[in-house]
Amino acid sequence: MKTQVGIIGGGPAGLLLSQILHVAGIDSVILERQSRDYVLSRIRAGVLEQGLVDMLRAVDVAGRLDREGEVHTGVNLAFDGRVEHIDLEGLTGGKTVTVFGQTEVTRDLYDARDAMGGTVVHEAADVTPHGFDGGTPSLTYRKDGMEHRVDCDFIAACDGYHGVGRQSFPPGTIREYEKTYPFGWLGILSRTKPVDEELIYANHERGFVLCSMRSQVLSRYYVQVPAAADIADWSDDRFWDELRARLPASVADVLETGPSIEKSIAPLRSYVAEPLNHGRLFLAGDAGHIVPPTGAKGLNLAASDVHYLSEGLIGYYRTGDETGLKSYSERALRRIWKAERFSWWMTMLMHRFPEEGGFGMKVQQAELDYLTGSTAAKTAMAENYVGLPY
């Protein structure tokens, strides 16, 4: 098999890159280790920046998003028994975020690739990049007991943190930066009405909570738990009791509870690999960086990588100019580090760090009090939350 761009990973980053390239007349093949059903069963966050929404619209993948997505013009910060509203739209000159599950974005991207005859090979085992140091890259994989090969001009690794893409870089060519946090998020999905029309980020002495949603009848809630927490210890009743205890009374009193559909614990960490390419092998999304979910940047940061990488590839195929590809890592990392900083700041501001004691919590409350009372501080937060320009 021969194509122009070989893509490792059939998640939203790989699918979006393939869709953008297809619309620009560039062929690609996606190799995905898991089945399609498995990919579509993964529950992920769903707060989309304006930039990602615009990208999906530009390649005709936003029909259902525009019909069913929840446009949010603001976000709430809860602390010290009160709830303060951040007017995202007013502070950023009209920018908003849209709540639409990542699983749904992935489903729509799959449908778009199917409609356009895109090639996605599922259950491709032992995917291995070759020749990316020179001008003859290729990918090999196994499927149905047979070995296969894809010859291509470039390889895009959109295969996540544990994927083969970054691991294929020669030893000593990547510098890694990492910070781990001493807690995780216990999250549940329930068929209940959201407690508020917009998200609520809450700082409390018992720990952080987030009240989010997928729709007007599907809610997503999270509570901070120790990194070593066992999900078996958390019944639905215990979760709802803990959530209520960490919310202001005005919110807790109207909280609707119900059986959980899904329950999981996610660890929190920050990670960046530099550079994001070696020769003709490029990293995008979680293959090159991880952010704690506090700033809602994971999927959005993957989309900005795809933006820069697709620009470089389109420029190369249209004019032969490699400038965009050569500058991809530098341009993408500049935005990545800003998103890493914002996600780290939100995490440090909203979570309970027991080792910091009462002094640390008082400082958090003072910063939240200042933030919600200062137009300049609210504007800085709003600009980062809706997404910095590409």
The catalytic residues are: 72, 201, 293, 297, 385
Left, alpha or beta for 81 (phi > 0: left; psi -120 to 50: alpha)? left
Contact 75, 385 (CB under 8 A): yes
Is 100:69 a contact under the CB 8 Å cutoff?
yes
Report the DSSP beta bridge partners of residue 211. 200, 221
How far, in Å, CA of 75 to CA of 386, rounded? 10
Distances in Å between the Cα of 207 and the Cα atoms of 92, 246, 352, 361 are: 30, 7, 5, 10
Instruction: Report the distance separating Cα 281 and Cα 165, nearest Å.
Output: 8
CB atoms within 10 A of CB 186: 25
Token readout for 78 is 């809860």
d(CA 296, CA 298): 6
**Measured distance CA(193)–CA(217) in Å, rounded:** 5
Of how many residues is the chain composed? 390
> Is there a cis peptide before residue 248, judged by omega within 30 degrees of 0?
no
Q: What is the DSSP string of 149-187?
A: EEE-SEEEE---TTSHHHHTSPTTS-EEEEEEEEEEEEE
Q: Are the C-beta atoms of 299 and 45 separated by less than 8 Å?
A: yes
Separation of alpha carbons 55 and 104, rounded Å: 15
- Token pair 């639409």 is found at 100
DSSP per-residue string spanning 356-367 = GHHHHHHHHHHH
